[in-house]
Amino acid sequence: MKENIRLCIELCLLALFLSLPLWAKYITDNPLIFPPEDDPLDWLQFFATYLGAIASFGMIFYTARSLNNNKRQLAEMKRQWDEEHKPEIIAYMVAHENFLHLCIKNISAVPVKNIRISVTHISDREDFPFNKEIVGKINTAMFSIEPGGCRYINTYVFVTTNVTIEDYLGLRFTYNDEYEYCVDLPFQVATFVTSDLNEGQIRRDIHQIPIELNKIANKH
């Protein structure tokens, strides 16, 4: 809407600018405005200078506007480039082989480097089986992840452990020397979330189904 209004204003100004010579001709030929003793050539020179000044201001205006548009376009291109090349990770808990694993995944298109983890919270229940030695290993770990890659850390908490909604693992990640990511991961949710670590085994099992069916058919 604003662009349409701006275009209409610019067209009106252009039409006015183009009609100025006609107005100048009308004014100089009008005896009520220019008495016969006045020289119309003087006024024509004045209008020529006037029109030249208007044309110069018009060029300055359009040049400034073009530069401003180019600046906005460059800023948008830079924002998009930064967004596409920004390293980003997510973390979640998954169940695998009877244990809960911490999964750190690179969801960006660039490598995530120098990943460090700090445990900011862990359940302080006496019967909670989280190994404090694992906390120390998590706090001292440093690694990198390729685009789309994952890293898994075994918490050695059994899937069958009696956990509550209040039992969660608080983590703070720093990476690429300038980014930070904080998250709280409930252990209870992870007890029924399956890890993609099992995908290879699932594929093998699916491939084995027709083989086993053929064996059963041959027996009969």
- Region 75-90: mean pLDDT is 88
Same domain flag for 20 and 97: no
Indicate yes or no: pTM above 0.85.
no
Q: Which of 43-47, 57-61, 166-170, 192-196 tops mean pLDDT?
A: 166-170
Quickly tell me which residue has 């090349």 as its tokens: 85
Any idea what the CATH number is for the domain that residue 154 is in?
Answer: 2.60.40
- Does 118 fall in a domain? yes
Non-local CB neighbours of 90 within 8 Å, separated by 6+ positions:
104, 105, 107, 181, 183
The total domain count for the chain is 2
The confidence score (pLDDT) of residue 33 equals: 56
- Does 154 fall in a domain? yes
- Does 147 fall in a domain? yes
- Does 84 fall in a domain? no
Render pLDDT for 139-196 as a digit per residue (tens, 0 to 9). Answer: 998 999 999 999 999 888 887 777 777 788 899 999 999 999 999 988 877 655 555 5
- Does 80 fall in a domain? no
Which of residues 58 and 37 earns the better pLDDT score? 58
Same domain flag for 184 and 122: yes
Same domain flag for 33 and 123: no
- Does 30 fall in a domain? yes
Same domain flag for 31 and 97: no
Same domain flag for 20 and 100: no
The confidence score (pLDDT) of residue 181 equals: 95
The confidence score (pLDDT) of residue 44 equals: 63
Same domain flag for 93 and 49: no
> Mean pLDDT for the chain?
76
Same domain flag for 96 and 184: yes
Same domain flag for 117 and 184: yes
- Region 98-124: mean pLDDT is 90
Among the three residues 61, 79, 100, which one is the final residue of a domain in this structure? 61
- Region 66-83: mean pLDDT is 86
Same domain flag for 183 and 104: yes
- Does 109 fall in a domain? yes
Same domain flag for 100 and 136: yes
- Does 184 fall in a domain? yes
Rounded Cα distance between 169 and 157, Å, is 12
- Domain that includes residue 127, residue range: 89-195
Same domain flag for 95 and 46: no
Q: For residue 101, count other CB atoms closer than 10 A to its CB.
A: 20
Same domain flag for 118 and 190: yes
